[in-house]
Amino acid sequence: MDEQQFDGLLKALVAKATLKQDIYHNTLEVMSLFQSVIGELGNGFASSGNKYATHRNVAFEYRFKSDFEIELKFGGDILLFLMHTNIFDFSRDHEVMRTPYIREDKTRSYCGIINIYNFLADSFKYNRYNDIGYLIGRIFINHEKHYFIEGKRELGILYNDFGRHVLDKESAAKIIEAAMMYTINFDLLTPPYEAVKMVTVNEMKNTLDAISVKTGKRLGFHFQEDKPENGI
């Protein structure tokens, strides 16, 4: 390898590594914004005296388990915010690659990802390891701190303008509010009779809470298949 080739290789390496480090730190900052907003929500809930609840044991709890994981419990639900430590690009056929924003600068398509999952709180409380959680949204953040969200209803519809939206504390609060509202309205349905009509002796002996019949808000759920007419 001659000196010119080596310089080109080194330049490409430094440029790509610097870009990914910038995106990583932006994504980490967004997690910090989420922590701040969730902490303020928790303080507000506590100071309100839970005045809208008929029972004072309505849960609103949160744990910042690491820089990459936030657990928010409210009512009978848990939202997990999980930051991936790697940086991703989109496939060529993804719709975001056809936007003027990306066409002007290809580096804008590299993103960090924060996934938002919804679980039943009882699934963790009673160690029901077969229960189902759902990806309700994933947030993509680039080196300019622009973002968009692939997700359900409020999340996917409100935050899909990659070229215009910048993720600041105000937008972080709106994302959390939308995720919580979607979760509140995403109800647990009775599983199909055929899915639960048979149970083994071993499963029955393990008690109802630990029974290895899956519990989830939607059995057979696929991320892309929610139907608006069902109110979801």
Q: Which residues contact 144 (CB under 8 A, 6 or more apart)?
A: 108, 166
CA pair distance 19, 112, nearest whole angstrom: 11
Mean confidence (pLDDT) of the chain: 83
pLDDT of res. 41: 93
CA pair distance 27, 150, nearest whole angstrom: 16
CA pair distance 42, 95, nearest whole angstrom: 37
pLDDT category, 222, cuts 50, 70, 90? Answer: very low
pLDDT category, 105, cuts 50, 70, 90? Answer: very high
Length of the chain measured in residues: 232
CA pair distance 75, 55, nearest whole angstrom: 11
pLDDT tens track for 86-101: 999 999 999 899 999 9
Cα distances (angstroms) measured from residue 172 to each of 31, 44, 71, 90, 139: 9, 17, 16, 23, 11
Least confident stretch, 1-5, 23-27, 173-177, 193-197: 193-197
For a pLDDT cut of 70, what percent of the chain falls above it?
A: 75
Average pLDDT for 2-18? 92
pLDDT of res. 218: 58
Least confident stretch, 9-18, 19-28, 123-132: 123-132
Least confident stretch, 145-149, 178-182, 205-209: 205-209
| Most distant CA pair in the chain, distance | 76
For a pLDDT cut of 90, what percent of the chain falls above it?
A: 53
Q: How far is CA 190 from the centre of its chain?
A: 25
Q: Domain ranges in the chain?
A: 3-187
- Parallel, antiparallel, or unpaired for β 112-120 and 77-83? antiparallel
Average pLDDT for 142-153? 90
Give the bridge partners for 63, in sequence order: 71
Q: State the DSSP string of 117-152.
A: EEEEHHHHHTT-TT---EEEEEEEE-TT-BEEEEES
Place of tokens 């630990």: 210
Specify the pTM: 0.82
